[in-house]
């Protein structure tokens, strides 16, 4: 079963997503199309990268992921197909794919270099046919002209030493929960045999939960979520609103010797 996933900033009130799907199925009606999300903020590469990074490894290797985030891009942005971690990605070389993995790509080609299609709807006219062909077992090496590297954007990185981990909120999810870039493995290593204090938004906490319902309704919880990232929320409430925090808000964990 060949799978093509779709991740776009097209929304759901217009014809764009249906047109992309129609083009994919016109190339190969036997493909399975899975919607990841079409509610990425307009041109929000950080949001799109977060969602794609969080989920693409849950699909079988060989899955083709079409990412139409800021698809028209800048004047010099190429339209590309990338093989990365044994998955395939089709989109605009605007930096998004550089944010989803720390591993080097296996293959990278410019899919519009030869035919040079000019369009105001590249998701339908360039990316969808390329994704369908990849999912139909066309070799990525035959899809275009090889490129040496992706356009790079920088992820937010934590600062960590024996005394403190400093991070930031990298996503406010649909529940208003605050997802940080502080990973569980770093915390587990630095916290051995130590007490700790977690500080954010003027609050201080000394406990990390293992499940949401360990907090009472309306109280704050902190846990390492399914992505193994520190998450802050209000049980049955909206932490973003109630704590006055948002994307890029600082979060720190200090350790007592």
In tens, the pLDDT along 54-75 reads: 999 999 999 999 999 999 988 8
Contact status, residue 66 vs residue 128, Cβ threshold 8 Å: yes
Partners of residue 171 on adjacent β-strands: 179
- Angle made by CA atoms 178, 252, 173, in degrees to the nearest 5: 10
Residue 134 dihedral angles phi and psi, to the nearest 5° = -60, -45
In the chain, DSSP assigns E strands to 3-8, 32-37, 64-68, 79-84, 87-92, 107-110, 145-146, 159-160, 164-172, 178-183, 195-200, 203-205, 220-224, 229-234, 250-256
- pLDDT at 98 > cutoff 70: yes
- pLDDT at 1 > cutoff 70: no
Walk me through the domains of the chain, giving residue ranges and CATH numbers. Answer: 3-146 (3.40.50.10790), 159-256 (2.40.30.90)
* Terminal-to-terminal C-alpha distance of the chain: 54
20 token code pair: 């992309």
User: Who contacts 47 (Cβ-Cβ below 8 Å, separation ≥6)?
Assistant: 40, 41, 69, 171
In tens, the pLDDT along 167-220 reads: 999 999 999 999 999 999 999 999 999 999 999 998 999 999 999 989 999 999
* DSSP sequence for 51-118: HHHHHGGGSPTT-EEEEESSTT--TTPPEEEEEETTEEEEEESSSGGGGS-SSPPSEEEETTTTT---
In tens, the pLDDT along 13-63 reads: 999 999 999 999 999 999 999 999 999 999 999 999 999 999 999 999 999
Residue 105 dihedral angles phi and psi, to the nearest 5° = -70, 155
In the DSSP assignment, the letter for residue 124 is: I
Express as a percent the part of the chain with pLDDT over 70.
100
């Amino acid at each position: 079963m060949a799978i093509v996933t779709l991740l776009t900033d097209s929304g759901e009130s217009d014809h764009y997503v249906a047109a992309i799907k129609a083009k994919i199925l016109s190339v190969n009606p036997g493909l399975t199309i899975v919607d990841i999300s079409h509610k990425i903020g307009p041109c929000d590469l950080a949001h799109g990268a977060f969602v794609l990074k969080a989920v693409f490894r849950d699909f079988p290797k060989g899955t083709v992921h079409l990412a139409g985030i800021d698809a028209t891009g800048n004047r010099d942005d190429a339209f590309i197909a990338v093989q990365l971690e044994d998955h395939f990605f089709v989109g605009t070389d605007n930096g998004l794919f550089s944010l989803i993995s720390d591993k080097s790509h296996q293959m990278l080609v410019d899919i519009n270099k030869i035919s040079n299609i000019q369009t105001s709807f590249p998701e339908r006219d360039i990316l969808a046919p390329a994704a369908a062909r990849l999912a139909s077992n066309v070799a990525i090496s035959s899809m275009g002209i090889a490129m040496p590297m992706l356009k790079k954007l920088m992820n937010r990185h934590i600062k960590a030493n024996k005394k403190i981990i400093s991070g930031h909120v990298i996503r406010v999810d649909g529940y208003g929960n605050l997802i940080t870039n502080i990973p569980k493995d770093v915390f587990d290593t630095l916290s051995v045999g130590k007490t700790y204090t977690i500080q954010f938004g003027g609050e201080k906490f000394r406990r990390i939960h293992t499940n949401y319902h360990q907090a009472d309704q309306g109280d704050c919880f902190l846990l390492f979520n399914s992505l193994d990232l520190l998450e802050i929320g209000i049980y049955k409430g909206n932490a973003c609103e109630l704590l006055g925090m948002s994307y890029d808000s600082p979060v720190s964990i200090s350790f007592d010797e």
